[in-house]
Amino acid sequence: MTPRLTSLLAALAIAGFATGAQAQEKLKIGMLATLSGPAAVLGQHMRDGFQLGVKHLGGKLGGMEVELVVADDELKPDVGIQKVQGLLERDKVDVVVGVIFSNVMMAISKPVFDSKTVLISPNAGPSPLAGKGCSPWFVSTAWQNDQNHEAMGKYAQDKGYKKIVLLAPNYQAGKDSMAGFKRHYRGEVLEEIFNQVNQLDFSAEIAKIAALKPDAVFAFEPGGMGVNFVKQYAQAGLAGKIPFLSAFTVDETTLPATQDAAVGLHSGAQWAPNLDNPVNKKFVADFEATYKYVPALYAAQGYDAALLIDAAVKAAGGKAKDKEAMRAAVRKASFTSVRGGAFKLNTNGFPLQDVYVVKAVKRADGKYATEIVSKVFSDFADAYAKDCPLK
Amino acid sequence: MSTTLLVVQILNGLQLGVLLFLIAAGLTLVFGVMDFINLAHGVQYMLGAYLAVMFYGLTGSFLAGLVLALLAALAFGLLLEFAVFRHLYDRDHLDQVIATFGVILFLNQGVKLVWGAAPLTLPIPELFSGSVRLMDGLLYPVWRLVVIASGLVAGVLLYGLVAHTRVGMLVRAGATDAPMVSALGVDIRRLFMIVFGFGTMLAGFAGIMVAPILSVEPGMGDTILILAFVVIVIGGIGSIRGAFLAALIVGLVDTLGRSFIVDILRLVMAPSPARTVGPALASMLIYLLMALVLYVRPTGLFPAKGR
Amino acid sequence: MAGRAAGRLLPLLIFAAFAATPLVAAATGDSFIVSLGIRVMIFAIAALALDLLVGYGALVSFGHAAFIGLGAYAVGILSAHGIADALVALPVALAVSGLFALATGIVCLRTKGVYFIMITLAFGQMAFFTASSLAPYGGDDGLTIRARSLVAGFPLFADDRAFFYVVLGFLLATYLACRAVVASRFGRVFRGSRENAVRMATLGFNVYRFQLAAYVIAGVIGGLSGFLLANATEFVSPAYMSWQRSGELLIMIIFGGLGSLDGAIIGTAAFLLLEQWLSGFTEHWKVIFGPLLVLVAVFARGGIVGLAGRLKELIRG
């Protein structure tokens, strides 16, 4: 059979059975998230957000029945690789959605790209993937890791804080956060304090901050570290005195634990539950009704990932099993994000988006959440996109 | 680097030390006296914190929460002892390791099933919610003083109990030669159950006391467990006095290291490498300390006699 | 005699099962079991070394993952500098982990029992924090390796099935080497040091030296496992040498049964396959796996191998 005849027959087959065949064929999505250990709450937000997105679209993405396989990377890079190999080789998924942490992302990106499968990150955005190591198979519905830190640096600059102390755990993401902050901050950095990963007691750091008397503090302390630090910062009486700026530290995953200690603290974020647009209103209301907790940005990013896949399958003309078609479609896909307006991608697959300063509040219903204070950047592109050879 | 800051950081170091001792105390007791490696000590600490959060939520009173949580932690500990641990006392350490590791897996996931993955909080009781001024612009929460006091009390109590009471004597005798003590008409099983229950309560108590300062989350006991082991090993297993001193040393070394190591390194190297090397060095300082102590004194600072 | 034959049968069965895995994968179209098999065998290599220490010498090392990490980083760092040949990377990986074992062993072996557990942990943690601070090599984000190592310029490891048999070859070689070590005079002295160190010393053996040699052997084998792990995952990360990983390795060999070498392989396979299988069932698989470990500890003295042995006796009457 000549190739032309084959394609002709194939075309006929598609034309003839388009509706019937595709309704039966399921869209297989593999999700990899951190679902155990102290950081499990982040994975839970992301997964719940994604599942709500699928639910809102009637259990179908791009008109195809969805089969979602969820795997837990346990926050171990090699376990992540094993699980993603399972998704790719055994479950033969059409799209991979994940992950939460950059170190796991760095580990799994190669096997996913090598298999020529679209990888959608609803969270982690390490700089190598945004710059030189960018891939046509990669799209983020979150941010490049630096973006929210950059917003806080710009905010500190605009606020006129002259002297600042930076605090982050002693790991790569912590160093990146400080680099991101300093990109737009022109004032004096009095001290860069690196605490230990999973540190419990921050008395020493807090005493140091009090002694340095900065105009403001910028902290990146995700998860339990953030809870410990924020509580102890407030207990030491610094909360009202030295303005506290952060990113990924005070959000809806930690607010149930920090509560009043965190109220009034400012963070950088591309989204908050009260962001005023119809898509977001529906998302937040239904999320709280379904899962009984307030969504954090991780949930919003998961939700957008579902919307993105839906739009991509449509853009690919339903050819979700055709990986090349999906690769092209995922870049062209257009949908209205919970961030408001059309979702825009940069050449490196990371979003072009507005970034805000948000503030933790106690809502009228007694729950804690973040709220938009002001916009810092519009259609903000990350700093690494210029190194990405993709067009 | 001002003198005030140095003094404050030394205080912080001692404070962390007492905190560590509070957590390590139950472990020393069970490990040192019963020769039982209880890796589940960390999750029992976690369980104490979770139970306190739950009972506080139900009763609205910290004290009631504390008492109920302690009782519940004790009940659960005794259940574990009855169902699992008592079959392992006379076994190889490694059997104890695998069993208690299984308990860790179960409980870490269990609390997530029951209380959810999100971190929880326990407020500081109203009575102790004040603070004292430590230096310009820095307050010291009264609650931390309460934690320190309770750590000291726990230490004295334990020391007295093990070294100077009849029960303590029996326990020590039982640990050395269980069949002999048993032949003398003492119910060893019940004795060990009491000790284990006490250890469990100490773990739970530590969890409750630190809950207002720290995040209550699944897996919160895992890091603590390693720190507690570091403390009791440096101190010399079986020595409560050793554990106490080791806890203070670890607390001081860790805190002062974190506070000043970068400044110290800047004296001998350029600021940029100092900023890279300093924090890495600070992270491993307590392990360096442990290796050094064990190199010089292979059985810890205060090896218990006759073991 | 029957016991002897059975003793040989078990390893034969194990290696036959491994060897058949790619064939099963080809027959069923489930290529994932090849990747899974590679992972199991790589950890089994590390577990064999650990069993040598723990099962035969009562040296409970809680820092074994450090050797895996060192071996893996040797591959990663050399590859980052353009040296991607296994003929260089493998000797370097083995040498680095062996030297680390020698240097730390000299210190660690001064202690015994639980103190030994903790001092090995201390060195493991130091290695972990050092790797985490290696910013040029990704710090704790880890380092992606462009491609698997070449062998004399030939991409022997590139194909998963070929790599599978390479790993199987290394596992078999490690197993036979460990068997030989255990059976040798060296091994008898080393085992003797576990039973009664004082007697061995009075017999004129320098127990410390024997233990140190065993520790270095275990370190080198750990490095081999790390070399293979870096190639299998095409990635290295400080997480490869976390204390949790060291703990898991211990759990694997106790789970399988100590001091038989077969148990190390069986325990590793059982641990990793159960993890994979149960986690496919439910997100809360640890609620099942935890109690399972407890049951093994309480009822199966001597792990899976011990349990199997007693079952066999029971059947025979």
pLDDT tens digits, one per residue of B236-294: 887 888 999 999 999 999 999 988 888 888 888 888 888 888 888 888 999 999 999 99
Percent of chain B beyond pLDDT 70? 98
For the ranges A35-44, A122-131, B264-273, which has the lowest average pLDDT? B264-273
Examine residue C239 and state whether it is found in any structural domain, yes or no.
yes
pLDDT for A198 equals 85
Q: Render pLDDT for A83-105 as a digit per residue (tens, 0 to 9).
A: 999 999 999 999 999 899 999 99
pLDDT tops 80 at residue A7? no
pLDDT for C7 equals 64
Percent of chain A beyond pLDDT 90? 80
For the ranges A224-228, A357-361, B126-130, which has the lowest average pLDDT? B126-130
pLDDT for C2 equals 42
Examine residue A47 and state whether it is found in any structural domain, yes or no.
yes
pLDDT tops 60 at residue A17? no
Q: Residues C82-88: what's their mean pLDDT?
A: 93
pLDDT for A154 equals 95
Q: Render pLDDT for C149-181 as a digit per residue (tens, 0 to 9).
A: 999 889 999 999 999 999 999 999 999 999 999
What tokens were used for A285? 């209301």
Q: Residues A234-251: what's their mean pLDDT?
A: 92
pTM, entire model:
0.90
pLDDT tops 50 at residue C48? yes
Closest CA–CA distance from residue A33 to any residue of chain B (Å):
14
Q: How does residue A155 score in pLDDT terms, banded at 50, 70 and 90?
A: very high
Mean pLDDT of chain B: 88
- What's phi and psi for A96, nearest 5 deg? -110, 130
Residue spans per domain, chain B: 3-296
Domain hosting C48: range is 34-243
Query: Within this chain, do residues A62 and A136 fall inside the same structural domain, yes or no?
Result: yes
Q: Which of B109, B213, B220 sits opposite A38 (nearest CB)?
A: B220
pLDDT for C37 equals 96
Q: Looking at beta carbons, which residues of chain C come within 8 Å of A109?
A: 144
Q: Which amino acid is at C237?
A: S
Query: Within this chain, do residues A96 and A55 fall inside the same structural domain, yes or no?
Result: yes
pLDDT tops 50 at residue C201? yes
Closest CA–CA distance from residue B286 to any residue of chain C (Å):
8
Examine residue C198 and state whether it is found in any structural domain, yes or no.
yes
**Is B64's Cβ below 8 Å from some Cβ in C?**
no
CB pairs A-C closer than 8 Å: 89
Examine residue A2 and state whether it is found in any structural domain, yes or no.
no
Examine residue C73 and state whether it is found in any structural domain, yes or no.
yes
Of the candidates A31, A44, A4, A29, the one whose C-alpha atom is nearest the C-alpha of residue A252 is A44
Query: Within this chain, do residues A256 and A284 fall inside the same structural domain, yes or no?
Result: no
Looking from the CA of A141 toward its CB, the CA atoms found within 13 Å total 38
Query: Within this chain, do residues A99 and A43 fall inside the same structural domain, yes or no?
Result: yes
Query: Within this chain, do residues A31 and A113 fall inside the same structural domain, yes or no?
Result: yes
pLDDT for C195 equals 77
- Alpha helices, DSSP H, located in chain C: 2-28, 32-57, 65-80, 86-108, 113-132, 160-183, 185-195, 197-202, 207-233, 243-256, 262-281, 286-299, 303-316
Tokens 């104890």 belong to B96
Q: Looking at beta carbons, which residues of chain C come within 8 Å of B298?
A: 110-112, 115
How big, in percent rounded to 5, are the helix, strand and coil portions of chain A? 45, 20, 35
Mean pLDDT of chain C: 91
Q: Residues A311-325: what's their mean pLDDT?
A: 92
Examine residue A116 and state whether it is found in any structural domain, yes or no.
yes
The total domain count for chain C is: 1
Query: Within this chain, do residues A56 and A124 fall inside the same structural domain, yes or no?
Result: yes
The total domain count for chain A is: 2
pLDDT for A70 equals 94
Q: How does residue B1 score in pLDDT terms, banded at 50, 70 and 90?
A: low
Examine residue A11 and state whether it is found in any structural domain, yes or no.
no
Which of A192, A200, A212, A368 to mutate to probe the B interface, most B CBs <10 Å? A200
Q: Which residues contact B239 (CB under 8 A, 6 or more apart)?
A: B28, B32, B300, B302, B303, B304
- Alpha helices, DSSP H, located in chain A: 3-24, 40-56, 77-85, 102-114, 127-130, 147-159, 172-184, 203-212, 224-235, 255-258, 278-291, 297-315, 323-332
Examine residue C171 and state whether it is found in any structural domain, yes or no.
yes
Q: How does residue B304 score in pLDDT terms, banded at 50, 70 and 90?
A: low
Examine residue C279 and state whether it is found in any structural domain, yes or no.
no
CA distance A2 to A7: 9
Closest CA–CA distance from residue C114 to any residue of chain B (Å):
8
Query: Within this chain, do residues A321 and A232 fall inside the same structural domain, yes or no?
Result: no
Examine residue A303 and state whether it is found in any structural domain, yes or no.
yes
Q: Which of A35, A103, A109 sits opposite C140 (nearest CB)?
A: A103
**Is B233's Cβ below 8 Å from some Cβ in C?**
yes
Contact A128 C144 (CB under 8 A): yes
pLDDT tops 50 at residue A18? no
pLDDT for B15 equals 86
CATH code given to domain B3-296: 1.10.3470
Q: Looking at beta carbons, which residues of chain A come within 8 Å of B216?
A: 257
Query: Within this chain, do residues A289 and A206 fall inside the same structural domain, yes or no?
Result: no
Q: Residues A186-207: what's their mean pLDDT?
A: 91
Q: Which of B12, B116, B213 sits opposite A204 (nearest CB)?
A: B12
Query: Within this chain, do residues A294 and A248 fall inside the same structural domain, yes or no?
Result: no
Contact A41 B135 (CB under 8 A): no
Cis preceding-peptide flag for A99 (omega within 30 of 0): yes
pLDDT tops 80 at residue A16? no
pLDDT tops 70 at residue A281? yes
pLDDT for C93 equals 97
Q: Which of C115, C250, C297 sits opposite B99 (nearest CB)?
A: C297
Examine residue C24 and state whether it is found in any structural domain, yes or no.
no
Higher pLDDT residue, A274 or C201?
A274
Q: Render pLDDT for B69-114 as a digit per residue (tens, 0 to 9).
A: 999 999 999 999 999 998 998 888 888 989 999 999 999 999 999 9
Percent of chain A beyond pLDDT 70? 94
Q: Residues C207-211: what's their mean pLDDT?
A: 91
Q: Looking at beta carbons, which residues of chain C come within 8 Å of B291?
A: 107, 119, 122-123, 126
Examine residue C10 and state whether it is found in any structural domain, yes or no.
no
Query: Within this chain, do residues A264 and A288 fall inside the same structural domain, yes or no?
Result: no
pLDDT for A196 equals 87
pLDDT for A223 equals 86
CA closest to B278 among chain C residues: C133
Residue B215, classified by CB atoms within 10 Å of its CB into exposed (0-12), middle (13-18) or buried (19+), is buried
pLDDT tops 70 at residue C108? yes
pLDDT tops 90 at residue C254? yes
Closest CA–CA distance from residue A357 to any residue of chain B (Å):
23
Examine residue A1 and state whether it is found in any structural domain, yes or no.
no
Inter-CA distances, B19 with A175, B230, B286, B293, C129, Å: 29, 14, 16, 21, 24
pLDDT for A10 equals 46
pLDDT for B174 equals 72
Q: Render pLDDT for A51-64 as a digit per residue (tens, 0 to 9).
A: 999 999 999 999 99
Q: Looking at beta carbons, which residues of chain C come within 8 Å of A89?
A: 30-32, 35
Query: Within this chain, do residues A28 and A124 fall inside the same structural domain, yes or no?
Result: yes
CA distance B248 to B22: 11
Q: Residues C86-107: what's their mean pLDDT?
A: 96
Return contacts of C283-287, CB within 8 angstroms, 24+ apart: C283/A35, C283/A36, C283/A70, C283/A72, C284/B109, C284/B112, C284/B113, C286/A36, C286/B105, C286/B106, C286/B108, C286/B109, C287/B105, C287/B106, C287/B109, C287/B110, C287/B113
Where b means 16+ CB within 10 Å and e means fewer, C192-222 reads: bbbeebeebeeeebebeebbbbbbbbbbbbb
Q: How does residue B192 score in pLDDT terms, banded at 50, 70 and 90?
A: confident
CATH of residue A89: 3.40.50.2300
Examine residue C202 and state whether it is found in any structural domain, yes or no.
yes
Domain hosting A73: range is 18-143+276-349
Query: Within this chain, do residues A239 and A365 fall inside the same structural domain, yes or no?
Result: yes
CB atoms within 10 A of CB B79: 11
For the ranges A150-154, A242-246, A334-338, B179-183, which has the lowest average pLDDT? B179-183
Which of B16, B145, B215, B285 to mutate to probe the A interface, most A CBs <10 Å? B215
